[in-house]
Amino acid sequence: MPQPLYIRTHPRDNVGIIVSEGGLSSGTSFASGLVLVDAVPEAHKVALTAIGRGEPILRYGVVIGYAAAPIARGAWVHADLMRLPQPPNLDQLPISTAIPEPLPPLEGRTFEGFVNEDGSVGTKNILGITTTVQCVAPTVEYAAKRIKAELLPRYRNVDDVIAITHAYGCGVAIEASGAEIPIRTLRNLILNPNLGGAPLVVSLGCEKLQPEKLLPDGAFPILGAKPYVVRLQDEQHRSFEGMVTNIMQMAEERLQILDQRKRVTRPASDLVVGLQCGGSDAFSGVTANPAVGYAADLLVRSGATVMFSEITEVRDAIGILTARAANQEIAHELIQQMAWYDRYLERDAVDRSANPTPGNKKGGLANVVEKALGSVAKAGTTAIAGVFGPGERVTKNGLIFAATPASDFICGTLQLAASMNMHVFTTGRGTPYGLAMAPVIKVASRTSLARQWPDLIDIDAGSIATGGATVREVGEQIFQTILDVASGRRKTWADHWGLHNECVLFNPAPIT
């Protein structure tokens, strides 16, 4: 029987996290002298001191809640015993008061990528077929299946053919406030570096989101002189077969261009890495997220772009981030994004306990404050160099806040639109999540999950909790894995099995 184990995340904390696999029974005593007075599940909190009613519960050295009843030393501190603190007031935040000094640059780290005409670099070489409206989605999916079976095997340098389908494009208030978000998301998805600047657009003909609106003049030098747009309602199409033949012919022209591309050695500064978590547990903030944070620092030191997102999961830790903003303008941009989302949630009276999920709670995360403090560890320790709105294309290097909801596929889709070419995803409860457009490296917060799902989890950060590995060791492993996967030398498990979640748009505007 291994020594029973808990960890205190910060010296000020009055709760610890149970590390022992499967949890511990009442009466268990620890080397520190602490004795459990309740059974405490794995990853859940134990009171390290007696906590009186109304007194603060501290984790990460920060108040994550107030005791709803007296809590004995050694008791299980579960969600029902905690009252939720108010979110930080956006008018009283520290503005650029703790700007981190730049870390020493890291030279000579490279990967093998596909260089695009617009200067961006792909980690995959994919033919993307985009759609202006849901009406054409099944037709495009049918055509894509045939392109994959009949054409793709002849073009060995092309990795994949993907249909970018969605529920948008018609029956929507296309000029309403907020409609710019789904439209620019679709536009910027086509510009993702992994699509090689050779997309194909399929339109119905009568929809609200006309190709001209999706692809405005001048925004698409990469499309070249000939617009690769197929309109299904055009006179020339006399049958469904005719439509499919037309799509396949255009696809073949694009495949010929993509096939001529070869991987070349590029500096790590060409990477645009999106960070996300999903199915988090109480270990996420101690193991996987700090290790990803270490990797984020290595990437920033290499000159790369690193994006963190998920507004609802940083909202309660916003004061840490505004203090770290590289200048006051960036701090105010962060606050603007939080304020916009506060109003968006208030409009529909979303309650603050809607996040965390039941799974998060089972994994020991009592509330959104505890989740947020663990979540921001992914962003490492460098200054925040820029802020971008949902679906905007990120055009800066360094650590960037790319505003998105926390929903896994919506965040992933918006990060792809922001020009992400590599994705790192941390999970505690586990998810088989993946994306077709960019590789997704999955990092487990618990060794028990990595063991349970050896053919879905790419990196196990759980050993950090038991002392088997350090944050630095796992962080370096994540960085090296990013370079290997970006170069096509190593495949993620999600790509091995072809597990690709759909692109899901964020549409805060009305549906008509």
* Binder of Ca ion out of 288, 406, 420, 444 (CB under 5 A): 406
| Distance of closest approach, residue 245 Cβ to Ca ion, in angstroms | 40
Identify which range of 21-29, 398-406, 471-479, 501-509 contacts Ca ion by CB under 5 A: 398-406
Residue 251 or 277 with smaller CB distance to Ca ion: 277
DSSP secondary structure code for residue 40 in this structure: B
Chain position carrying tokens 């929507």: 172
> Between β-strands 82-83 and 62-67, what pairing exists: parallel, antiparallel or unpaired?
antiparallel
Cβ 490 vs Cβ 477: under 8 Å: no
Nearer to Ca ion, 124 or 429 (CB): 429
Minimal distance, residue 375 CB to Ca ion, in Å: 9
Kindly tell me which of 199 and 363 has the beta carbon lying closer to Ca ion: 363
Closest to Ca ion by CB, 197 or 279: 279
How many chain residues interact with Ca ion (CB under 5 A)?
3
**Interface residues for Ca ion in 338-397 (CB under 5 A)?**
none
Q: Which of 278, 293, 386, 428 binds Ca ion (CB under 5 A)?
A: 278
**What tokens appear for 472 in the block?**
């630095």
* Closest separation in Å from C-beta 104 to Ca ion: 32
β-sheet bridge partners, residue 63: 58
Report strand pairing: 305-308 vs 398-402.
Answer: parallel
Q: Which residues pair with 1 in a beta bridge?
A: none
Identify whether the C-beta of residue 103 lies closer than 8 Å to the C-beta of residue 301: yes
Cα–Cα dist 347/304, whole Å = 37
User: Of the ranges 71-79, 144-152, 270-278, 368-376, which one interacts with Ca ion (CB under 5 A)?
Assistant: 270-278
Question: Is 6 buried (19+), middle (13-18) or exposed (0-12) by CB count in 10 A?
Answer: buried
Tokens 């249909």, located at residue: 163
| Shortest distance (Å) from residue 406 CB to Ca ion | 5
Is the distance from CB of 117 to CB of 220 less than 8 angstroms? no
Stretch that binds Ca ion, among 168-176, 345-353, 375-383, 407-415 (CB under 5 A): 407-415
Query: What's the min distance (Å) between Cβ of 361 and Ca ion?
Result: 16
Give the rounded distance of the alpha carbon of 446 from its chain centre: 19
The least distance separating Ca ion from the CB of residue 263, rounded to whole angstroms, comes to 30
Pairing mode, if any, of strands 200-203 and 229-231? parallel
Smallest separation, CB 126 to Ca ion (Å): 23
Rounded Cα–Cα distance for residues 222 and 501 (Å)? 27
Q: Report the site for Ca ion in 289-318 (rule: CB under 5 A).
A: none
Task: Tell me which residues in 111-170 interact with Ca ion (CB under 5 A).
Answer: none
Q: Please check whether residue 413 is in contact with residue 189, taking contact to mean a CB–CB distance below 8 angstroms.
A: yes
* 472/49 Cα distance (integer angstroms): 31
Which CB sits closer to Ca ion, 135 or 440?
A: 440
Q: Select 230 or 444, whichever has its Cβ closest to Ca ion.
A: 444
| Tokens encoding 61 | 């050295």
189 vs 406, which CB is nearer to Ca ion?
Answer: 406
Nearer Cβ to Ca ion, position 46 or 406? Answer: 406
Least Å distance between CB 276 and Ca ion?
5
Smallest distance, Ca ion to C-beta of residue 156, A: 35
x/- string (CB under 5 A) for Ca ion, residues 20-59? ----------------------------------------
Please state the closest distance from residue 310 (CB atom) to Ca ion, in A.
5
Name the one range near Ca ion by CB under 5 A: 153-161, 197-205, 267-275, 278-286. Answer: 278-286
Among 408, 458, 460, 495, binds Ca ion (CB under 5 A): 408
Question: What is the closest distance, in whole angstroms, from the C-beta atom of residue 299 to Ca ion in the complex?
Answer: 20
Starting from the edge strand earliest in sequence, which strands make up the sheet with 76-77, in order?
Answer: 6-7, 15-18, 45-47, 76-77
**Pick 182 or 274: Cβ nearer Ca ion:** 274
Q: Of 125 and 415, which has the nearer Cβ to Ca ion? A: 415
Q: By C-alpha distance, which of 407, 380, 384 is closest to 278?
A: 407
Quote the CA–CA distance of 232 and 240 in Å, as a whole number: 9
H helices present in 78-154, as ranges: 137-146
Stretch that binds Ca ion, among 88-96, 275-283, 361-369, 464-472 (CB under 5 A): 275-283
| Nearer residue to Ca ion within complex by CB, 278 or 386 | 278
Give the Cα separation of 425 and 458 in Å (integer). 10
Q: What's the token pair of residue 483?
A: 């370079």
Chain position whose Cβ is nearest to Ca ion: 278
Extract the tokens encoding 198.
């050779």
Distances (CA, A) of 387 to 107, 297, 397: 26, 17, 11
Min dist CB 408 to Ca ion, Å, is: 4
Nearer to Ca ion, 123 or 404 (CB): 404
The Cα 423–Cα 481 span in angstroms is 11
Residues 234-253 close enough to bind Ca ion by CB under 5 A:
none
Q: Which residues bind Ca ion (CB under 5 A)?
A: 278, 406, 408
